[in-house]
Amino acid sequence: MKRFISIFLFSISVSNMTAQKISYIEETHSWYYIYDQDGKRVHTFSTSQGRVVAYTSEFYIVRHGDSWYYTYDIKGHRIHTFSVSNTGEVLSASGDTFVARKGSWINTWTKDGKRVSTRSASSR
């Protein structure tokens, strides 16, 4: 019986644990506010740290000056640093990846810095 109760309590606690997800990033004159799926503000950072160029529910990308992109988790912990000269221009983000265009190539990158795929950019 004791084991059953502990298993039951553990299953309840696991079912109540959900990972926080980014729902929205709000920009004011000097600050970015990160909100989770419950509408709760979970992180704030200054616009002087850079400009948010894309975000998903898992991470966001900040461009700092002309040289660097940084990926961050919902709590503002840096995940990875990318050089703009190597990555190119960030176009969009989805899930755990983002897409960037460098010259005539489109690259898909993980938030952790691994290049997943490369393809030729279509000329329109």
User: Does any domain span residue 101?
Assistant: yes
CATH of the domain at 110: 2.40.10.480
Confidence (pLDDT) at 123: 62
Q: Is residue 35 part of a domain?
A: no
Asked whether residue 90 is domain-assigned, the answer is yes
**Tell me, what's the pLDDT at 8?**
54
pLDDT, residue 115, reads 97
| Residue 86 lies inside a defined structural domain of this protein | yes
36 assigned to some structural domain: no
Whether 107 maps to a domain, the answer reads: yes
Please check whether residue 103 lies inside any domain of the structure.
Answer: yes
Residue 57 forms part of a structural domain: yes
pLDDT of residue 111: 98
Q: Which two tokens stand for residue 35?
A: 């909100």
Q: Residue 101 CB: number of other CB atoms within 10 A?
A: 14
pLDDT score, position 69: 98
Q: Do residues 24 and 35 lie in contact, with contact meaning Cβ atoms separated by under 8 Å?
A: yes
pLDDT of amino acid 122: 79
Segments of the chain with pLDDT less than 50 = 14-16
Q: Based on the structure, what is the number of domains in the chain?
A: 1
- Look at residue 11 in the predicted model and tell me its pLDDT: 56
| Boundaries of domain holding 70 | 47-120
| DSSP, res 49 | G
Q: Which two tokens stand for residue 82?
A: 């990318």
